[in-house]
Chains A and B, each alone.
Chain A
């Protein structure tokens, strides 16, 4: 089974545990939402799942095998959209995509038409030959999404892929994720936009202070927490402060009434 499985993942940085005993499975055709406040360990989990960061304990399995046994083979079947759009600023968007395609050993006859089509579909045609340094965040994000899709991967990890995207591109992305899942791809989707996760994901994992505090379908979580929306669920599971009160405090500080 081509499922991505995290088994008791732990990550410590200089003695501080940022991910603690995290286990879950993402099955083919499934979109799993990965939620949590800033600093809860979402990005670190994503990086451990891709093998970009070593685990302090635990293992990642794909297709029943530990990815550490053959990381290159796993990455051939992986697409990853990172949170931070770090790209080579001196390259054009097209050159970056060509580099990725060539590193992935795709034949020129395959990747050239694919890149052309992707660039057109993502609305980057006018900027394809401009240097990435002049791209907006959304444009960089589109380049990252294309790079993750070029080799038709079996498993996709999206780490806040909608950040910086315009409304149209965000809508396209939402439909794209569903279409990819329908084609049997296993997808982990990390985002802060609860509405999107609620509409898009079959299952939601909520992370708090490095630990999983919930792992279930959105409907089950709603029933369990007797809440009307995912936002309410998230509020009950994770938030330790009242957001409305915090907002009022911020306004007070801004106006000098603190």
Chain B
């Protein structure tokens, strides 16, 4: 009974989470998350089965080969989503100081607490993993051509193999992250881990989210691209291990179907597909062994690391952070004298830096946008083969537009991050000390965003551009990016009447309709801008006109904002009332 209560307590911790759902309703969160996972996978299952339903005479060899792509997609999805969930839960994955405070005073043996935590983590993994693989498993039969003579036993084997391998892939993703976390913590100690934890979490978010975003463009022609090309060894791609395992368990269900004479249009392709698929059998077996060994190894290492770290309940943080070092003091001095000279601007500047670096919610928002930017860059890397461009006129428009997409992703995330209060309970600090003029504070916030997000992004983009362009051309393009970033920053804060990081936040109700519109607008504008840039920077006069126009736009937007703020409209400090509160008439 006591252990069951403890398990329930730890399961609730996964939902009452500082990062995901501070002060959220647990049932609501669980319902929304569960529905989102099931509906998304249901949609993807139906979408993937369409090609089989429109090609009902597809023969076994081709079906087996296409099915490899599907399995790779599903197992990659399971691995990445479960790994991202583990990263999102991060501190809730292990016992922490809060558990010590809540449970440490109670007469409960430490082993019971640790066991309950293990069970809770296991239940959480299984619950999410099952939700992820449910739809594709149930609809596995729909991903088979109607005229393919698969026996009912064969269908069952295919579904069971998909379920088993999907669960294993998801579990591997989750356990791998947990294992990395716990092993590092065991190696560097709790105090050392607290120092690197935030950075590691952000790094994993960037890596995993980038991989997830790249999945739709990378999962086609798995056999040729990943297994036989020789460019990437399949043993370096974990989802392929589980594809190998799946084929070892259930590959015969399709490949073993007696070959009839295929329709003439399929004959050659079917012959090649069958030969290719059967040539991969030895690789499937080896990948299956790797999958099994890797999963067992991950479980064992993680269990040992968790057990080692759970020898005693963790102590609360001792606050070992010293004062800023010489470099830190030099940065503060330079920023105070060069970037933000007056007090209110400094307040905005330094508080923005602190929020972006130390608040988990803000850090993850920015890391996710960086992942999106990185994915966009990688998708476009395919278009820059060949000699380096000596003029912008020879660079494809989408190759130029990608810079604006990345900047838009980063600055949109920044614009969203400033809406989210750093700590709702502490907003009163701003209410009381607010100087009454938002302009200097906002200027500090914008400068911090440009300095910490835009400058490093442009530096990375410049390095990437120099692969495809001559340095002079890359520099011209990055200069254009810098001007566009400043313009975007000005546009994003026009008419902004809230207090960055300190006003109440209510989610935009019509986000579902606004986001697609916004994405389309960014795509169109960035492609138009790239076309103008390519045409204008071909000559000196064009360059002067182009940069002059951008400068005029920046000055114009800034002037509009300054003029509007002269009227001294009241800043929105209070938490606005949500739709539900208004609907229920819970208004004073």
Q: State in angstroms the CA–CA spacing of A80 and B428 once bound together.
A: 10
Cβ-defined contact, A78 with B432, below 8 A: yes
Cα separation A164 to B435 with both chains bound (whole Å): 30
Is B152 an interface residue, CB under 8 A from the partner?
Answer: no
- A135 to chain B minimum Cβ distance, whole angstroms, is 7
Docked CA distance A232–B433 (Å): 39
Q: Does B566 contact A (CB under 8 A)?
A: no
A40-61 Cβ-contact flags toward B at 8 Å (1 or 0): 0000000000111000100000
Nearest chain-A residue to B422 (Cβ)? A88
A99 at the interface (CB under 8 A from B): yes
CB pair A86 B319 closer than 8 Å: no
Q: Is the CB of B343 within 8 A of A86?
A: no
Asked if residues A88 and B430 are in contact (CB atoms below 8 Å), the reply is no
A183 interface residue (CB < 8 Å to B) = no
Q: Let me know if B322 and A103 touch, CB within 8 A.
A: no
| B359–A90 touching, CB < 8 Å | yes
B350 touches A99 (CB 8 A): yes
Q: How large is the interface on B (under 10, 10 to 19, 20 to 34, 35 or more residues)?
A: 35 or more
Q: Which of A75, A78, A105, A135 contacts B344 (CB 8 A)?
A: A105
How many A residues have CB within 8 A of the partner chain? 45
- The answer to whether residues A87 and B588 also contact, given A107-B343, A128-B323 and a CB cut-off of 8 A, is no
- Digitize B297-319: 1 where CB-to-A-CB distance is under 8 Å, 0 elsewhere: 00000000000000000001111
Closest to A98 in B: B350
Chain B residues with CB under 8 A of A133: 317, 319
A127 to B430, CA, bound (A): 23
Q: Is the Cβ of A52 less than 8 Å from the Cβ of B431?
A: yes
Residues of A within 8 A of B324 (CB): 129
- Assess the A127–B319 pair: CB atoms within 8 A: yes
Interface string of B431-452 (1 = CB under 8 A from A): 1111110000100000000000
Q: How far is the CB of B222 from chain A (nearest CB, A)?
A: 44
Give CA–CA (A106, B433) in the complex, Å: 11
Does B346 sit at the interface, judged by CB under 8 A?
Answer: yes
B320 proximity list for chain A (CB < 8 A): 130
Q: Given that A14-B588, A90-B359, A99-B347 are known contacts, is A72 also in contact with B436, CB under 8 Å in the complex? A: yes
25 contacts between A and B (CB under 8 A): A14-B588, A52-B428, A56-B588, A72-B436, A87-B423, A88-B422, A88-B423, A88-B429, A90-B355, A91-B354, A92-B321, A99-B347, A103-B343, A103-B344, A103-B429, A103-B430, A103-B435, A103-B441, A104-B343, A105-B344, A105-B435, A108-B343, A133-B319, A134-B316, A134-B318
A75-B432, A82-B428 given. 6 additional CB < 8 A pairs?
A86-B428, A91-B358, A108-B343, A129-B321, A130-B319, A131-B321
3 tightest A-B CB contacts, nearest first: A130-B319, A134-B319, A72-B436
Listed in ascending order, the chain B residues whose CB lies under 8 Å from chain A are 316-324, 336, 342-344, 346-347, 350-351, 354-355, 358-359, 422-423, 425-426, 428-436, 441, 586, 588
